[in-house]
Amino acid sequence: MSSFPGSPRILKGGIVLIDAGTSAVQRVIALQYNPDSLTRSLQVQAVSADGGDRSEVLRLKGPPVETLKLEAEIDATDQLEFPGQNGGVVQSGLFAQLAALETMVYPSSGQLRANDLLAQIGTLEIVPMETPLALFVWSKSRILPVRITEFGIAEEAFDTALNPIRAKVSLGLRVLSVNDVPSGHKAASLFMNYLQQKERLAGTVAGQSLSSFGLTGVP
């Protein structure tokens, strides 16, 4: 969907896949259109549950479990207007863009073949396959290491060859904190940067006085 040429450039959100050991960027997946909304949920990790030790009631075991949900729209209409410049879209619609997203939750075919070979030669324990580290990028202030927990695709329109030309992708993400990865892991340092950014932003909020509540002091 074309925008007015004089409109300001809008930064895109999306996902970056990196090698957790070297930080080398493996793939950048920018969303075609930024979602209209981003839903976040924080589950507090308190020490004391109901009926627990009352002396622990204010203690935390660690950062909250933060989850995110969003819906992103993908549309090939604009590209189909210029077939000479977008031959791939003309040939296969949105399959390539959808595949770039879908393969984030698949082990690679090479990994599957290697594990199959190990099984054939009698290897008793096959290590689960590791994916690249996914970073959810939503402005310079929010670069979050995440694990994809939910993935849904609704293909909403098709061309004459039944290639999808409009789709909606639903993503559920879980932020990886220092509690989820080994010490020294790239995700741990990214999470700490994210937390420190929150703390800096919180420190810029002007303090309020108790008079805002009609109080002169704490009872």
* Residues 169-207: tens digit of each pLDDT: 999 999 999 999 999 999 999 999 999 999 998 889 888
pLDDT, residue 28, reads 95
Q: Which segment of 46-50, 93-97, 120-124, 144-148 scores lowest on mean pLDDT?
A: 46-50
pTM, entire model: 0.83
Q: Considering only residues 173 and 130, tell me which one the structure prediction assigns the higher pLDDT.
A: 173
Give the rounded percent of residues in the chain with a pLDDT score beyond 70. Answer: 88
Structure tokens at 38: 């981003």
d(C-alpha 67, C-alpha 193), whole Å: 18
DSSP state of 46: B
What SS3 state is found at 177?
coil
pLDDT band at 76 (very low <50, low <70, confident <90, very high): confident
What is the rounded average pLDDT of the residues 51-63?
80
